[in-house]
Amino acid sequence: MSGDALMTTYQRLPIAFTHGEGVWLWDSDGNRYLDALCGLAVTGLGHAHPAVATALSEQSRRLLHTSNLYRVAAQEQLGARLCELTGQEKVFFCNSGAEANEAALKLARLHGHQKGIATPTVVVMEQAFHGRTMATLTATGNAKVQAGFEPLLEGFLRAPYADSAALQALTADREDIVAVFVEPVQGEGGIVIPDPAYLGELRALCDARGWLLMTDEIQSGMGRSGRWLAAEHSGVRADVVTLAKGLANGVPIGACLARGKAATLMHPGHHGSTFGGNPLACSAALAVLNTIEREGLLDNAARMGDLLAARLRDRIAHLAGVREIRALGLLIGVELERPCGTLVEEALARRLLLNVTQGNTVRLLPPLIIEEREALQIADTVAELISEFLGDAQHAA
Ligand SMILES: *Cc1c(COP(=O)(O)O)cnc(C)c1O
């Protein structure tokens, strides 16, 4: 096996998985791993879920693709279901998170031009992550994502995250703002969970000024927080919502949902995608929605997240070197005081998949189907890894 033909876009770990089942993955040497990462918040139903497999095999025997020149039954069904579940009114389907965000940013600009604003500007946050296309990397609040790709796009204003007063001050005399684009929980930013009042304050500000409130729920949505959308924890309904990652359990799909005036901004010719909303991806997503409902996975995500976080707090919150343990459902971050990237390989040696983001935050994104035993096993292994890491660091100091 050689990756020589692949562009050097990724720093890959020297491991390949051959198959999976539920929360478990097997590598090519037959070792079994507990998956507390879900391919970055994607496989919420775990691996090889029979409902998704059946939907895919049945659909693939009937029809994979016809294009958006025609009606697509599965797309219409999925659109209606998603609107019902999220309180939105219209959907545009695409194939990834970044594309869903591109659609949202195009909506914001259409909204601005409709109001006669020639240079519409979208407020975006520090430490935000919105994707790797030109518009979404511009919206992303991370210099490493942007470096080398200048010139960035115009039409963005950066504000501190989780601080509505700062946002208000920054925009007080600006007439060109058209939207606020925000993650309800910052995922790549380190599982940063704002005060529950924050989104409501942004909602009020957007209402007062005629801006769209646009939430990127690509990581936090689809049940991962214990609700369909993380914004529900604040009782807030956005004007535009983007979804991807967990939506079809690994089949590429993205969705940009909108309501109110944002729902009717797009007209034929404004936007499109060849693959977007094709029968295969939509069938998989419908199976995911059905399974989350049938198996009560929102409740499970909330309960298992609480359990896992409580166990982690019991075991390591008191340790010097642990700055904070943050959790909302199965979005879980353990921030340490020093960089801890080596923990990824330490965990791999213990047959556990996790991720470190922002250099010093262990990020756990286990599947929504996780059971008590496995949640506790993740917590105990992570607690041991961090205790040892901090112990070693203390000895070295
Ligand atoms: C992963 C992610 C994206 C980008 O999704 P892609 O499918 O990789 O383009 C955008 N926003 C958030 C919050 C994400 O977590």
Q: Note the pLDDT tens digit of each residue in 139-151.
A: 999 999 999 999 9
Alpha carbons 226 and 293: distance in angstroms, whole number: 12
Query: Does an H or E element contain 157, and which?
Result: strand 156-159
**Helix pair 164-171, 198-209: axis angle to 10 deg:** 20
What are the Cα distances from residue 43, in Å, to 22, 122, 223?
Answer: 9, 31, 12
pLDDT tens digits along 299-315: 999 999 999 999 999 99
User: Edge-to-edge strands of the sheet including 32-35?
Assistant: 17-21, 24-27, 32-35, 352-353
Radius of gyration over every alpha carbon of the chain, rounded to an integer in angstroms: 21
pLDDT tens digits along 268-280: 999 999 999 999 9
Q: Which atom of ligand 1 is nearest to the CA of 132?
A: 9
Which pair of structure tokens corresponds to residue 180? 């606020």
Alpha carbons 18 and 238: distance in angstroms, whole number: 40
Q: How confident is the model at residue 2 (pLDDT cuts 50, 70, 90)?
A: confident
- What phi, psi does 35 have (nearest 5°)? -95, 100
208-237 in b/e burial notation, b at 16+ Cβ within 10 A? eeebbbbbbbbbbbbbbbbbbbbbbbbebb
Q: Give residue 130 CA to ligand 1 midpoint distance, Å.
A: 5
Q: Is 128 in the pocket of ligand 1 (CB under 6 A)?
A: no
Q: How confident is the model at residue 29 (pLDDT cuts 50, 70, 90)?
A: very high
Q: Which atom of ligand 1 is nearest to the CA of 244?
A: 7
Alpha carbons 254 and 79: distance in angstroms, whole number: 12
Is 129 an active-site residue?
Answer: yes
Residue 394, pLDDT > 70, answer: no
CATH 3.40.640.10 domain locations along the chain? 50-294
Ligand 1: residue of 245, 355, 363 to mutate (most ligand atoms within 8 A of CB) is 245
pLDDT tens digits along 193-203: 999 999 999 99
Amino acid sitting at position 307: L
Residues 6+ positions from 351 with CB-CB distance below 8 Å: 31, 32, 33, 34
CATH 3.90.1150.10 domain locations along the chain? 17-48+296-396
Residue 397, pLDDT > 70, answer: no
CATH architecture of 50-294: 3-Layer(aba) Sandwich (3.40)
- How much of the chain exceeds pLDDT 70, in percent? 99
Q: How far is CA 46 from the centre of its chain?
A: 16
What confidence score (pLDDT) does residue 392 get?
76
pLDDT tens digits along 207-221: 999 999 999 999 999
Q: How far is CA 9 from the centre of its chain?
A: 20
Q: Is 325 in the pocket of ligand 1 (CB under 6 A)?
A: no
What confidence score (pLDDT) does residue 1 get?
75
Mention the CATH class of domain 17-48+296-396.
alpha beta
Is 245 an active-site residue?
Answer: yes
Whose alpha carbon is nearest atom 11 of ligand 1? 130
Alpha carbons 226 and 178: distance in angstroms, whole number: 31
What are the Cα distances from residue 285, in Å, to 51, 95, 252, 322?
Answer: 10, 12, 10, 38
Which pair of structure tokens corresponds to residue 216? 């990127």
Bond preceding residue 151 cis, omega within 30 of 0: yes
What are the Cα distances from residue 69, in Å, to 151, 265, 283?
Answer: 35, 20, 19
What confidence score (pLDDT) does residue 395 get?
63
Find where tokens 């924890």 sit: 233
**Helix pair 279-294, 73-86: axis angle to 10 deg:** 40
Q: Is 140 in the pocket of ligand 1 (CB under 6 A)?
A: no
Q: Which atom of ligand 1 is nearest to the CA of 98?
A: 9
